[in-house]
């Protein structure tokens, strides 16, 4: 299985983490064949308008009632007129070591080695929902029409296939979303990651998520 | 409006007839004089009187309609007095949203002056326009005739911050950076901001925020004309 | 008040982080029961019955307890598979599980195990009931099959010893598999820990002991004074103690780890509907009641069938509740 090498590297990293060298930049150590698409959500620029959500729904024909992408708004911090909000993007993190892929019994959930994108192949899926339960970010849902698990796939079959940026990225009025190849040091996302302090969600679980975030000034993260 | 004020004003002379204005003018003068009382105490009474004289002359020479001072009943606590001139048009009839509002424990009818203020010179806002609170959309030049804080303070005296937050969270982040009138219209019978579909709401955000310069720090964004 | 209770029960079965529903708990229970029964079947046949000279005409199939295992093991595995397939969002595509494999997936390994288990169990039972099968074939089957049958049986019989060890091994793995399936879920701290497979193994075995005992003495009239029945009876207490120990270890571990694990443990047993199920149902009815009954019931009362029925029903329902509790309370708290 092609994932064994990745697993090996991942467990190596986990070992390193476990021995206390927690600050090793995992990001740069994980080079897979070809591109590794990643996304950055700059929470300090996000205004919580949810234009990204609408655009995703429209582009990827996501039915009402479920969503591939949610912007979670924090409780107000402070009193009117000096109150602030934080925004948190909930969507697939395209983990380098994805639990959803690991548990899938039929290999329907897979990580595309060319791009690093995690996607679902409905033709292999049986609908056991193991992946839905296994995703620690809880971003998977059962598509009400297809009856198979669905989630963000970086618009792999829609905008990306047409050579366009993911729908959410181009819809964002404040350029709070940056998409690109994290393996290419010249890409906008690599530049941002290299020069700005970013964080990722639930890193200790060893999933190695590829959704990077720039914390807003309020510094309050939803759990 | 209660019955007695209505009755009082129904007997008022139409302002289109200058000759009938005269008794009213005396009233106006008295009133202005009273307002300038501090001048008197400081020994500027003559200057005040001269001003009044000039004013009366100007007012008298102009025909009706343009001159507020010529209005015999320019009682700023009475909406009808203002509306006799500020009729608006069919699209903005003035009598919409805030027209019949009542507020406070006394359930008093809101007057124009409650929000727009009376200006430093009393009712003479024609002469000293800047005294009157004007609720305006924030343009990109941010050339507000009334500073942002003053505008919003007028709204906040009735609309509590907590209520605004419940109505829509976006009130919070814009409280210091936008005038209420940037989004809301105050006099039509229905504020177009009300009951917007979710996607139209989003469009409001996008329309504004995509015009802001890319590198702007929106969280420290404040208008140049915004602070008094 | 009544709406309050209704709401809290509603909430116990419907919450945002819930992915796997009740049928999965039933599936895991039946799988554990089947594995437990299969383990007992092998142990009884290989070691217990011969030791006590209980096998009539050298035929283990005559024994009531063995007959009970021979019903429980295949019946509950079949039922569990039906439930599992029914729970898929696309039940008609279940065959893909047999075509496609993923060796990193606990479920995929489980599917392999289950297939192997079904085959080995079927063969082993054919050997066990060879005498009865002979008669059936002789009576009902056409000549061609009658000719092939003895040869097939002979070659299978050569592997009887291997089959028995294989069955024991697979049954133990299946018992633990039910726990590994859930322990793999990184999402939920209450599930994602190494004690869960151990707990599920012991509770599966405990349900196996109780199930075989119950069916053996009621339907198949196993004699209560027989040495094998006595052995099974004596097995109950240590198995239940092991189950209790694993449960205690699980929650101790969660509290030691702290953080979200502690939150999860507190949410599960520190109040609310599922903590009621835990303390009253699992600890009270499933663990303490059987232990007390065994310790404090006078010897002659223990020889009654009604006593066995009471005792085994308690531990069976305890195990069933444990499965529901772990599944639901486990999914309540996420990392
Ligand atoms: S975020 Fe969830 S669905 Fe996406 S790759 Fe990671 S585990 Fe899989
Ligand atoms: S990348 Fe595409 S699929 Fe993913 S959230 Fe954005 S629009 Fe939706
Ligand atoms: S479109 Fe951009 S600014 Fe709006 S919610 Fe999404 S990420 Fe935030």
Mean pLDDT of B7-33: 34
Dig out the tokens for C300 from the structure.
Answer: 């002659």
Cβ atoms of residues C199 and C179 within 8 Å: yes
Radius of gyration, CA atoms only, chain A: 17
Query: What local confidence, expressed as pLDDT, does residue A58 receive?
Result: 96
Using CB atoms, list chains with 3+ pairs below 8 Å to chain B.
Answer: A
How far off is chain A from C107, nearest CA to CA, in Å? 5
pLDDT at B10 over 50: no
pLDDT tier for residue B133 given thresholds of 50, 70 and 90: confident
Q: Which residues line ligand 1 (CB under 6 A)?
A: A 92-95, 98-100, 118, 135, 137, 139-140, 151, 207
- Chain C residues with CB-CB distance to A134 below 8 A: 184-187
CA A150, distance to chain mean position in Å, is 14
Which of ligand 3's atoms lies nearest the C-alpha of A175? 2
pTM of the model: 0.80
Ligand nearest to the CA of A52: 3
Ligand nearest to the CA of A96: 1
Q: Whose Cα sits closest to atom 6 in ligand 2?
A: A168
pLDDT at C68 over 50: yes
pLDDT at B128 over 60: no
Mean pLDDT of B179-192: 83
Query: What local confidence, expressed as pLDDT, does residue B49 receive?
Result: 54
The rounded distance, in Å, linking the Cα atoms of A54 and C280 is 48
The rounded distance, in Å, linking the Cα atoms of C130 and C123 is 10
CA of C328 to the centre of ligand 1 (A): 22
At C244 the three-state DSSP class reads helix
The rounded distance, in Å, linking the Cα atoms of B227 and B184 is 20
Indicate if ligand 2 lies below 6 Å from the C-beta of A60: yes
Please report whether residue B202 resides in a domain. no
How far off is chain A from C71, nearest CA to CA, in Å? 28
Count up the domains in chain B and report the number.
1
The rounded distance, in Å, linking the Cα atoms of C307 and C288 is 16
Chain B nearest-CA residue for A77? B172
Q: Which CATH number fits domain C2-332: 3.20.20.70, 3.40.140.10, 1.20.1630.10, 1.10.510.10?
A: 1.20.1630.10
ipTM of this predicted structure:
0.89
Q: Which region among A153-157, B149-153, B217-221 has the lowest average model confidence (pLDDT)?
A: B217-221
Cβ atoms of residues A216 and A86 within 8 Å: yes
Please report whether residue B103 resides in a domain. yes
Classify residue C280 by its DSSP letter.
I
Query: What local confidence, expressed as pLDDT, does residue C301 receive?
Result: 85
Domains and CATH numbers, chain A: 5-214 (3.30.70.20)
Ligand nearest to the CA of A211: 1
How far off is chain C from A93, nearest CA to CA, in Å? 14
**Tens-digit pLDDT profile for residues A42-71:** 999 999 999 999 999 999 999 999 999 999
CA of A87 to the centre of ligand 3 (A): 9
Cβ atoms of residues A34 and A114 within 8 Å: yes
Chain A nearest-CA residue for B215? A174
CA of A69 to the centre of ligand 2 (A): 7
Mean pLDDT of A144-152: 95
Chain B nearest-CA residue for A52? B202
Q: Which region among B145-149, B200-204, C264-268 has the lowest average model confidence (pLDDT)?
A: B145-149
Query: What local confidence, expressed as pLDDT, does residue C242 receive?
Result: 96
Cβ atoms of residues C19 and A133 within 8 Å: yes
Mean pLDDT of chain C: 92
- Chain A residues with CB-CB distance to C103 below 8 A: 1
Tell me which H or E stretch contains B110.
none
CA of A158 to the centre of ligand 3 (A): 20
How far off is chain B from A174, nearest CA to CA, in Å? 6
Ligand nearest to the CA of A109: 1
Query: What local confidence, expressed as pLDDT, does residue B190 receive?
Result: 79
Max CA distance (Å), chain C:
72
Residue to test with chain C: of A2, A133, A205, A221, most C Cβ within 10 A? A133
Mean pLDDT of B49-60: 51
The rounded distance, in Å, linking the Cα atoms of B168 and B179 is 15
Beta strands in B98-163 (DSSP E): 102-103, 108-109
Tell me which H or E stretch contains C144.
helix C143-158
Query: What local confidence, expressed as pLDDT, does residue B226 receive?
Result: 32
Cβ atoms of residues A100 and C102 within 8 Å: no
**Tens-digit pLDDT profile for residues C228-254:** 898 998 899 999 999 999 999 999 999
Whether C252 contacts chain A with CB within 8 A = no
Do chain B and chain C touch with ≥3 beta carbon pairs under 8 Å?
Answer: no
In chain C, domain spans: 2-332
Q: Whose Cα sits closest to atom 7 in ligand 1?
A: A135
Query: What local confidence, expressed as pLDDT, does residue B150 receive?
Result: 85
Residue to test with chain B: of A58, A73, A77, A81, most B Cβ within 10 A? A81
Quote the Cα angle for C117-C120-C121, to 5°.
80
Q: Which residues contact C325 (CB under 8 A, 6 or more apart)?
A: C268, C274, C277, C278, C281, C282
Whether A65 contacts chain C with CB within 8 A = no
Please report whether residue B141 resides in a domain. no
Percent of chain C with pLDDT over 90: 73
Cα distances (angstroms) measured from residue C71 to each of A181, C43, C49, C78, C125: 58, 16, 18, 11, 10
Q: Which of B164, B202, B209 lies nearest to residue A174, judging by beta carbons?
A: B209
Please report whether residue B171 resides in a domain. no
The residue segments making up the domain with residue B63 are 3-131
Mean pLDDT of A135-143: 96
């Amino acid at each position: 299985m092609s994932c064994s090498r990745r697993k090996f590297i991942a467990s190596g990293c986990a070992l390193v983490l476990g021995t206390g060298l927690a600050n090793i930049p995992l990001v740069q150590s994980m080079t897979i064949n070809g591109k590794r698409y990643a996304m950055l959500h700059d929470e300090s620029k996000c205004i919580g308008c949810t234009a990204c959500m609408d655009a995703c729904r429209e582009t990827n024909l996501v039915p009402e009632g479920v969503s591939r992408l949610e912007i979670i708004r924090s409780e107000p911090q402070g009193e009117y007129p000096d109150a602030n909000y934080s925004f948190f993007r909930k969507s697939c993190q395209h983990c380098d070591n994805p639990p959803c892929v690991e548990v899938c019994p039929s290999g329907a959930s897979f990580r595309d080695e060319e791009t690093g994108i995690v996607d679902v192949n409905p033709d292999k899926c049986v609908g056991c929902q193991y992946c839905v339960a296994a995703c620690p970010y809880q971003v998977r849902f059962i598509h009400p029409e297809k009856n198979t698990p669905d989630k963000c796939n970086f618009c792999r079959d829609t905008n990306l296939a047409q050579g366009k940026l993911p729908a959410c990225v181009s819809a964002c009025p404040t350029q709070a979303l940056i998409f690109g190849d994290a393996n290419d040091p010249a890409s906008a996302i690599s530049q941002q990651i290299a020069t700005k302090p970013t964080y990722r969600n639930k890193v200790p679980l060893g999933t190695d998520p590829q959704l990077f975030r720039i914390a807003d000034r309020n510094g309050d993260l939803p759990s | 409006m209660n019955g007695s004020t209505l009755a009082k004003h129904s007997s008022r002379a139409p302002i289109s007839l200058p000759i009938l204005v005269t008794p009213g003018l005396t009233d106006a003068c008295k009133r202005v004089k009273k307002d300038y009382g501090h001048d008197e105490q400081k020994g500027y009474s003559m200057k005040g009187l001269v001003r009044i004289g000039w004013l009366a002359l100007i007012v008298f020479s102009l025909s009706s309609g343009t001159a507020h001072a010529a209005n015999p009943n320019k009682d700023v606590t009475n909406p009808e007095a203002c509306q006799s001139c500020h009729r608006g048009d069919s699209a903005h009839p003035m009598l919409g949203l805030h027209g019949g509002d009542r507020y406070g424990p006394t359930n008093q009818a809101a007057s124009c002056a409650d929000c727009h203020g009376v200006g430093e010179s009393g009712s003479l806002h024609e002469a000293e326009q800047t005294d009157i609170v004007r609720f305006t959309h924030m343009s990109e030049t941010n050339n507000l005739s009334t500073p942002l804080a003053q505008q919003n303070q007028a709204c906040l005296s009735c609309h509590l911050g907590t209520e605004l937050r419940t109505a829509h969270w976006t009130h919070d982040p814009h409280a210091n950076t936008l005038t209420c009138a940037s989004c809301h219209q105050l006099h039509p019978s229905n504020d177009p901001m009300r009951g917007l579909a979710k996607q139209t709401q989003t469009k409001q955000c996008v329309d504004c925020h995509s015009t802001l310069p890319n590198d702007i720090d929106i969280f420290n964004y404040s208008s140049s004309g915004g602070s008094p | 008040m009544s709406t309050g209770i209704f709401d809290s029960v509603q909430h116990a079965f419907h919450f945002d982080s819930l992915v796997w529903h009740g049928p999965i708990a039933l599936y895991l229970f039946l799988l554990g029961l089947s594995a437990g029964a299969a383990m007992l079947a092998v142990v009884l046949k290989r070691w217990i019955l011969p030791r006590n000279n209980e096998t009539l005409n050298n035929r283990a199939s005559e024994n009531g307890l063995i007959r009970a295992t021979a019903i429980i093991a295949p019946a509950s595995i079949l039922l569990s598979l039906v439930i599992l397939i029914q729970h898929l969002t696309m039940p008609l595509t279940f065959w893909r599980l047999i075509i496609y494999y993923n060796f990193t997936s606990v479920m995929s390994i489980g599917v392999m195990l289950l297939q192997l288990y079904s085959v080995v169990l079927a063969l082993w039972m054919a050997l066990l009931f060879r005498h009865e099968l002979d008669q059936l074939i002789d009576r009902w089957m056409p000549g061609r099959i009658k000719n092939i049958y003895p040869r097939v049986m002979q070659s299978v019989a050569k592997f009887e010893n291997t089959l028995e060890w294989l069955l024991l091994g697979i049954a133990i793995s299946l018992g633990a598999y039910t726990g590994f399936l859930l322990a793999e879920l990184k999402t939920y701290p209450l599930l994602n820990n190494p004690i869960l497979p151990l707990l599920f193994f012991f509770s599966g075995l405990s349900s196996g002991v109780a199930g075989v005992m119950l069916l053996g003495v009621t339907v198949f009239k196993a004699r209560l004074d027989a040495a094998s029945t006595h052995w099974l009876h004596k097995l109950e207490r240590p198995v239940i103690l092991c189950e209790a120990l694993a449960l205690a270890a699980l929650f101790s571990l969660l509290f030691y780890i702290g953080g979200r694990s502690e939150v999860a443990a507190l949410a599960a047993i520190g109040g609310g509907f599922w903590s009621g199920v835990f303390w009253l149902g699992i600890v009270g009815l499933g663990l303490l009641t059987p232990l007390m009954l065994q310790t404090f019931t006078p010897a002659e009362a223990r020889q009654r069938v009604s006593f066995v029925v009471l005792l085994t029903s308690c531990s069976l329902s305890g195990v069933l509740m444990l499965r529901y509790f772990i599944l639901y309370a486990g999914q309540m708290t996420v990392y």
